[in-house]
Amino acid sequence: MASVVSSPPRTIRIGSRKSQLALVQTYWVKEQLQKSFPNITFEVHTMSTQGDKILDVALAKIGDKGLFTKELELGMLNGEIDFAVHSLKDLPTRLPDGLVLAAITTRENPADALVVHQKYKDRQIDTLPAGAVIGTSSLRRLAQLRHRFPQYTFKDVRGNLNTRLAKLDAGEFDALILAVAGLQRLGMGDRIHQILPPEVSLHAVGQGALGIECRAQDTELISLLQAIEHPETRDRCLAERAFLRELEGGCQVPIGVNTEVNNSELTITGLVASVDGQKLVKDTITGKTTEAEKLGTELALRLRHQGAQVILDEIFAQIQRG
């Protein structure tokens, strides 16, 4: 009787951006998978994306179609890597043909954080002095804060987290608005001065969650990745992404969300604002978690009818004019 030769265990190549935060997130995913599948070899391969290379221009001015994901996606389609780990907020809601969002992992706090210069350690977002210079690279944050705090001055800030914090500490800014999740993942949670409540700043779609993207036909890998998916985070983020997809928004459009799950019910609040913060449309919808994407789409349609379409048309017209 002929002996059966078993094939060696598969080596799975994980794609990641080279930034410190991206690597922390990717190695966390690798560790979770390694615990579940100790016989499989997981290797991390790094790539630089367009968003990593252009650090002196505001994100909204260089477009957002795959700004932090395109090179990783090409790597998957070309067979250089098997899957990629993304900050879910960076992953476009429409993926290239042949790729799927295979899993969404447990979410860190998705809220925005106020980080202040030492001289304002006794202040909160609403008690900073008039004219205080606040740094943010996000139009979503900018629009909401301009709407609520027109007395402040807002400046764009780019670079990795350490670079931004160095600019703050050097006195270039009085405060920064950053993601709670990024600060916590990099062990800088002590820099969080105040976590902004949803009534001040609705967070970005997918903020705080990791999205794992892979080739659609790789069913073996998809089933492996399902082992580290977090169902509640998945439901919340699918609703958020459906909301954004229906509005055809990205980092060039101020769109914010907040989601909560209570038993089998999901509540999603969504917002569309003009960049100057003068116009703002906001509403909330609740339904079953099993209809997460339908809820997100329905909320987007509701906001369109309440005036969001006018805001979106103005923003897109401005983008086309350059």
Cα angle value 119/173/154 (rounded, 5°): 125
Is residue 189 within 8 A of residue 53, CB to CB? The reply is no
pLDDT of 322 reads 63
> Mean pLDDT across the chain, nearest whole number?
91
The answer on 214 and 101 residing in a single domain is: yes
What is the residue range of 130's domain? 112-195
Model pLDDT for residues 156-184, shown as the tens digit of each residue: 998 888 999 999 999 999 999 999 999 99
User: CA distances (Å), 305 to each of 203, 249, 283, in order?
Assistant: 22, 16, 11
pLDDT of 256 reads 97
The answer on 304 and 186 residing in a single domain is: no
* Number of domains the chain is built from: 3
Helix (H, G, I), strand (E, B) or coil at 258: strand
The answer on 84 and 71 residing in a single domain is: yes
The answer on 253 and 188 residing in a single domain is: no
**Distance between CA 26 and CA 86 in Å, rounded?**
8
> Which residues participate in catalysis according to the annotation?
90
Is residue 66 within 8 A of residue 75, CB to CB? The reply is no
**Distance between CA 64 and CA 57 in Å, rounded?**
12
- CA neighbours within 13 Å on the CB side: how many for 95? 24
Confidence tier at 67 by pLDDT (50, 70, 90): low
The answer on 65 and 12 residing in a single domain is: yes
Alpha helices in the chain (DSSP H): 20-36, 50-53, 70-77, 139-148, 161-169, 180-185, 219-225, 231-247, 292-303, 309-321
Confidence tier at 57 by pLDDT (50, 70, 90): very low
The answer on 166 and 126 residing in a single domain is: yes
The answer on 224 and 81 residing in a single domain is: yes
Quick one: DSSP state of residue 61?
A: G
| Residue with token string 């350059």 | 322
pLDDT of 64 reads 54
The answer on 318 and 266 residing in a single domain is: yes
Confidence tier at 56 by pLDDT (50, 70, 90): very low
For residue 4, pLDDT over 80 is answered with no
Alpha helices in 19-61 (DSSP H): 20-36, 50-53
Per the structure block, which two tokens stand in for 276? 């100057």
- Kindly state whether residue 203 falls inside one of the protein's structural domains: no
Is residue 163 within 8 A of residue 56, CB to CB? The reply is no
Confidence tier at 70 by pLDDT (50, 70, 90): confident
Per the structure block, which two tokens stand in for 22? 């991206």
Model pLDDT for residues 191-227, shown as the tens digit of each residue: 999 999 999 999 999 999 999 999 999 999 999 999 9
pTM beyond cutoff 0.95 = no
62-66, 130-134, 241-245: least confidently modelled range: 62-66
Q: What is the DSSP string of 284-315?
A: EEEEEGGGHHHHHHHHHHHHIIIIIHHHHHHH
| Residue with token string 């048309």 | 313
Sequence length of the chain is 322
Cα angle value 161/167/170 (rounded, 5°): 135
- Kindly state whether residue 35 falls inside one of the protein's structural domains: yes
**Distance between CA 24 and CA 29 in Å, rounded?**
9
- In what side-by-side order are the strands of the sheet with 153-155? 153-155, 133-135, 175-179, 112-116, 194-195
- Kindly state whether residue 298 falls inside one of the protein's structural domains: yes
pLDDT of 160 reads 84
- For the chain, the straight-line distance linking the first and the last C-alpha, in angstroms and rounded, comes to 73
Neighbours of 272 (CB within 10 A): 29
pLDDT of 80 reads 95
- Kindly state whether residue 120 falls inside one of the protein's structural domains: yes
pLDDT of 251 reads 61
CA-derived radius of gyration, the chain: 20
- Kindly state whether residue 2 falls inside one of the protein's structural domains: no
**Distance between CA 256 and CA 80 in Å, rounded?**
35
